[in-house]
């Protein structure tokens, strides 16, 4: 039985004071669900304060990105040991807002966020392996743009991003990885992927894991759905057999909405 995992990706929102206030609000709204793993991913600057505010809540702390070296002349980067040092246990890698989509027309992004920081399948793979080596739980995002979907390339894009992310990863580490299927066109647009289709593509990720690492790893690896998850669509998405949780952007900035999404996990 895979334990559902609900993560809030706060993106570039909340100063330290605002972030702690959100946690204080969340604490009063969350009904303890031992059967659901829950975490929030604030901006780097708020990690320490949020980590302190989370003490004793059972809610985990995640970061939104990481660099693969431990230290050195890498201006602007944050390493796995630095994340561990402030209490981080999870890290998002390969978010579409961080991946570079060279050669993909801007219109493919549906007018959504088009701010890319050059991540490639190779850098995502390095970040994922460095996270695993440090004992962090990576949440690896994959997903197609609207142009790729319209061209019928959804499955091949998701398969290749999954496969490339896993290059050189030991089979024993695979069950500790979380994947997030985040169709780029559904992120921040209010346009959620139809639940049966989201379930099907999460199944494509699982079968890619199965092809490389076998049925045992595939049965254990967790796959979240992300992209306009809200309290009113969470029930249906989270009841699907291949969807093991949600990576929530906008709705995680509202304590009531995030608590409702956690509670939408089937018991």
182 vs 199, beta carbon nearer ligand 13P: 182
Residue of 52, 148, 182, 210 with catalytic role: 182
Residue 187 CB, nearest approach to ligand 13P (Å): 4
Nearest-angstrom CA–CA distance, 216 and 219: 5
**Chain residues that interact with ligand 13P, rule: CB under 6 A:** 9, 95, 182, 187-188, 226-229, 247-251
Tokens 């996990």 belong to residue: 265
Residue 148 CB, nearest approach to ligand 13P (Å): 17
9 vs 131, beta carbon nearer ligand 13P: 9
Angstrom CA distances, 26 to 55, 213, 240, stand at 13, 38, 26
208 vs 233, beta carbon nearer ligand 13P: 233
Nearest-angstrom CA–CA distance, 59 and 147: 37
Counting other chains too, the contacts that 18-21 makes at CB distance below 8 Å and 24 or more residues apart are: 19/43, 19/46, 19/49, 19/50, 19/53, 20/46, 20/49, 20/50, 20/52, 20/53
What is the dihedral sign for C-alpha 176, 136, 28, 259? negative
Per the annotation, the verdict on 95 as an active-site residue is yes
Residue nearest to ligand 13P (CB): 249
Per the annotation, the verdict on 182 as an active-site residue is yes
Residue 73 CB, nearest approach to ligand 13P (Å): 30
127 vs 213, beta carbon nearer ligand 13P: 127
Residue of 18, 25, 95, 191 with catalytic role: 95
Residue 84 CB, nearest approach to ligand 13P (Å): 22
Residues in the chain: 267
Nearest-angstrom CA–CA distance, 183 and 189: 11
The catalytic residues are: 95, 182
């Amino acid at each position: 039985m895979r334990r559902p995992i609900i993560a809030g990706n706060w993106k570039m929102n909340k100063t330290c004071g605002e972030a702690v206030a959100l946690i204080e609000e969340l604490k009063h709204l969350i009904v303890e669900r031992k059967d659901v793993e829950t975490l929030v991913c604030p901006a780097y600057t708020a990690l320490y304060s949020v980590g302190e505010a989370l003490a004793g809540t059972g809610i985990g702390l995640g970061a939104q990105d990481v660099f693969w070296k431990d230290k050195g002349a890498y201006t602007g980067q944050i390493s796995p040991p630095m994340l561990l040092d402030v209490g981080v246990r999870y890290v998002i890698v390969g978010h579409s807002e961080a991946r570079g989509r060279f050669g993909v027309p801007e219109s493919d992004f549906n007018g959504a966020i088009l701010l890319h920081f050059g991540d490639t399948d190779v850098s995502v793979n390095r970040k994922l392996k460095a996270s695993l080596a440090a004992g962090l739980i990576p949440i690896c995002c994959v997903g197609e743009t609207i142009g790729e979907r319209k061209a019928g390339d959804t499955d091949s894009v998701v398969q290749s991003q999954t496969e490339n992310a896993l290059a050189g990863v030991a089979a024993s580490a695979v069950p500790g990885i979380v994947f997030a299927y985040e169709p780029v066109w559904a992120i921040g647009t209010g346009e959620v992927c139809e639940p049966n289709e989201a379930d099907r593509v999460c199944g494509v990720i699982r079968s890619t894991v199965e092809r490389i690492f076998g049925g045992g790893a595939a049965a254990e690896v967790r796959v979240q759905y992300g992209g306009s998850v809200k309290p009113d669509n969470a029930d249906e998405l989270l009841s699907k057999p291949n969807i093991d949780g949600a990576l929530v952007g906008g709705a995680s900035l509202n304590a009531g909405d995030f608590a409702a999404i956690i509670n939408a996990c089937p018991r």
